[in-house]
Amino acid sequence: MVNANHTLCLGETRLEQLACDLGSRQAALERFSEIGNGGYQARAIAESMREIVKTVKVAVPFRTGSHALEGHLKRELIRLADLLRDLSVVSIDIEAHTDVRGGRRFNRKLAFERARAVRHVFLGRGIPLRRITARAVGAEGAVYSHGDRGGYPFDRRAIVSFDIEEIKS
């Protein structure tokens, strides 16, 4: 398979193969979008891209009370950002959560800082702010209730998901 930069996509990780496939589709999307009567094809390609990216979610865990990204997680986010940088039709949504411990104000602020930390990595790798949305959900998005200590680590996270920008025909 060939991506937007016309390089072969062989022997790569699943994420790299996915980016390669999206790059190929984006190149076709751009060609059809430039053609005056290519609206139907452009919409079909964009919808196929949307179906691909809606299945991908990346969970970024955090330590209790912290918004600092651990080194290995930051490296993986950098890798992801580098793969997404040239995929200009892909938008990035960051939704940050906390566990149920702590007050509402504290959890909101902590979730905001977590979303900001993840967004900062994408911005730092050249992805424009217009492609990124970030929300602080706080404890309202918690799956595990008070007293479920085993579940708390799963609620301390930021979820990164993706979409495809609307195609104007």
Give me the domain span that covers residue 99.
Answer: 14-164
- Return d(Cα 138, Cα 100) in angstroms, integer: 8
Q: What's this model's pTM, rounded to 2 decimal places?
A: 0.84
Name the residue with higher pLDDT: 7 or 163. Answer: 163
Q: Which pLDDT tens digit goes with each residue over 32-59?
A: 877 765 678 888 888 999 999 988 899 9
> Number of helices and strands (H, E) in the chain?
5, 4
Q: Residue 7 falls within a domain, yes or no?
A: no
Q: Residue 3 falls within a domain, yes or no?
A: no
Q: Where residue 141 sits, what CATH number does that domain have?
A: 3.30.1330.60
| Domains contained in the chain, number | 1
**Alpha-carbon distance values, 28 to 12, 19, 78, 86, 166 (Å):** 22, 14, 26, 14, 15
Q: Residue 1 falls within a domain, yes or no?
A: no
